Every structure is written in C-alpha cells, then in structure tokens.
C-alpha cells in the first residue's frame, strides 16, 4: 500500500460485484462478456486482497434472485463458475487461499458442486486468507435456514430456546466460523444491500463506487479501504466514549 493509505486494514471485506451487464452494454457486447470480464476482476481483487493483508474476502457471485434472469444468462454464469473453479485450483493451492461458500450450494448444478467441493477440500488447511463465494445466497433464506437449524437443535435438546445471545444464534448462520464484514463495497453506483449479509453487516462500513465491476481495480479496492480507515465505528457508543473508554463501555 502507498504511504498515503490509512494503515487501518479491515479484517473482512465483502463486495457486491455489480455492473457487468451495463459494462458490456456500453460496449455493444452481450451481457455474458461483462460476466467474463468480471471473472478476471475476481482474480485481480482476490490477489489484491491477499497483498493488502485481508483475512477474509467475500464476493456476492450469485443470489437466490439471480435464478430469475434469462435461462441462457443463468446457464452462462454457471458455466463461468465451473470454468473459474477448474482454472483457479492450482492458484488457490500455490497462494494458500482457502475457499469457502455461503448459500444454498446444494441447489447448484452438479458439475459446479463437484468442483466446489473439491476446491474446498483441497484448501481447507489454509488459515491466513479465505475467499468466500456467496452462491445461491440470500440473507432472508439464510435466516430461514438458521432458524430451522436452531429449532432442530432446541428440539434435540442441544440448544435452549431462552438463550437470546446473538453469539448463540449466529452459530447457525452460514458464516458461523467467519468474522463479520468490516467493510461492504458495492460497485456500479447502486446504493442498496440487495439481501447481502444483512445480519453480519449490521456494523459494517458501506462504500459505494460508480465503477462497474469489470473495471474495478486494486487501486479502487485501496481507495475503499482508505475510506474505511477514515470512518469511526461507534457500535452505539458516543465518540467521546470511544476516545476515553470507561469500564462500563464494551
């Protein structure tokens, strides 16, 4: 990082990769060409995240709502995902990147699941840097899945219904063993969270950039991290409390 960039590095950055379609349309290209270029950006930003010292990078690659896109686009996205997983396996191993997923991956095509499982298994020992792909992910379906799992644990006598600690319930989310995102970035100028990490992002800093995902660069990531470094995360406290903590402050 350049010396002008704040040394406050977020542990976990999550990105809503948006604008592939518009990037392609602006160039008179089919939408899928935007997704293809988007895969190149996934590679660039995965490397950049490791270089700047992130612990976790989560990328919103396919939402539960994305199944409603035209069938040829859905098919092309699944094909790209499979191609990406096959091509990146050696890089994940060489660069010691652990792959994880969040979402209902059991509903993805069998070929994608096979490569996902293989890559997850082959990289599970790496601890320094984790790439999380959100696939068939939606925060609302995640809450439904977590609530079902929690209810099953209560029924089996493994959890207590009157335990209202977030630390207990959050163990049933897809992200059970991952830190909450410190910074959520959305590209393409849209300023919504679109059903992405709604619970885990409760205290995340949000950065929106007009850059379309295929054009998003390491410099853009650094700019977002620098912006994060300027923010004061108060977690419900006052600024004065943060500067002069008392024993009652967490």
Query: With respect to ligand FPP, which residue has the nearer C-beta, 150 or 187?
Result: 187
Binding positions for ligand FPP, 215-234, rule CB under 6 A: none
Does 38 bind ligand FPP (CB under 6 A)? Our answer is yes
Taking the C-alpha atoms of residue 221 and residue 184, their distance in angstroms, rounded to an integer, is 11
Shortest Cβ 202–ligand FPP spacing (Å): 24
Is 66 an annotated catalytic residue?
yes
Task: Return the bridge partners of 24, or none.
Answer: none
Residue showing the smallest CB distance to ligand FPP in the complex: 21
Site size with ligand FPP, rule: CB under 6 A: 20
**CB contact at 8 A, 102 and 181:** no
Shortest Cβ 73–ligand FPP spacing (Å): 8
- Token couple for 238: 């006052």
Does 138 bind ligand FPP (CB under 6 A)? Our answer is no
Show the beta-strand stretches assigned E in 81-191: 97-102, 129-137, 183-186
Nearest to 20 by CA among 91, 83, 69: 69
**CB contact at 8 A, 120 and 151:** no
**Number of CB atoms found within 10 A of residue 168's CB:** 13
**CB contact at 8 A, 38 and 212:** no
Is 95 an annotated catalytic residue?
no
Phi and psi torsions of 60, nearest 5°: -85, 95
Largest separation between any pair of C-alpha atoms in the chain: 61
In the set 18, 142, 182, 220, which binds ligand FPP (CB under 6 A)? 18
In the set 13, 14, 15, 19, which binds ligand FPP (CB under 6 A)? 19
- Per-residue binding string, ligand FPP, 144-183, x by CB under 6 A, is ----------------------------------------
In the set 1, 5, 74, 80, which binds ligand FPP (CB under 6 A)? 80
Contacts with ligand FPP, residue ranges (CB under 6 A): 17-22, 35, 38-39, 42, 59, 61, 66, 77, 80-81, 84, 133, 188, 213
């Amino acid at each position: 990082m350049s010396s002008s960039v704040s040394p406050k590095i977020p542990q976990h950055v999550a990105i809503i990769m948006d604008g592939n379609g518009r990037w392609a349309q602006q160039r008179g290209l089919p939408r899928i060409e935007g997704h293809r270029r988007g895969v190149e950006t996934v590679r660039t930003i995965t490397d950049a995240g490791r270089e700047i010292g992130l612990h976790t990078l989560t990328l919103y690659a396919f939402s539960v709502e994305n199944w409603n896109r035209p069938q040829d686009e859905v098919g092309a996205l699944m094909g790209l995902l499979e191609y990406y997983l096959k091509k990146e396996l050696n890089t994940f191993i060489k660069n010691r990147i652990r792959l994880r997923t969040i979402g209902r991956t059991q509903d993805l095509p069998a070929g994608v699941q096979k490569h996902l499982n293989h890559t997850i298994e082959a990289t599970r020992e790496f601890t320094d840097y984790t790439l999380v792909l959100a696939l068939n992910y939606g925060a609302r379906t995640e809450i439904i899945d977590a609530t079902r799992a929690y209810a099953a644990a209560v029924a089996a006598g493994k959890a207590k219904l009157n335990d209202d600690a977030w630390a207990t319930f959050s163990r049933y989310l897809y992200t059970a063993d991952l830190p909450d995102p410190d910074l959520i970035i959305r590209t393409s100028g849209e300023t919504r969270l679109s059903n992405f990490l709604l619970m885990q992002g409760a205290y995340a800093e949000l950065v929106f950039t007009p850059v379309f995902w295929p054009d998003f660069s390491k410099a853009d990531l650094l700019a977002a991290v620098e912006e994060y470094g300027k923010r004061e995360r108060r977690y419900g406290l006052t600024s004065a409390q943060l500067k002069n903590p008392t024993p009652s402050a967490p």
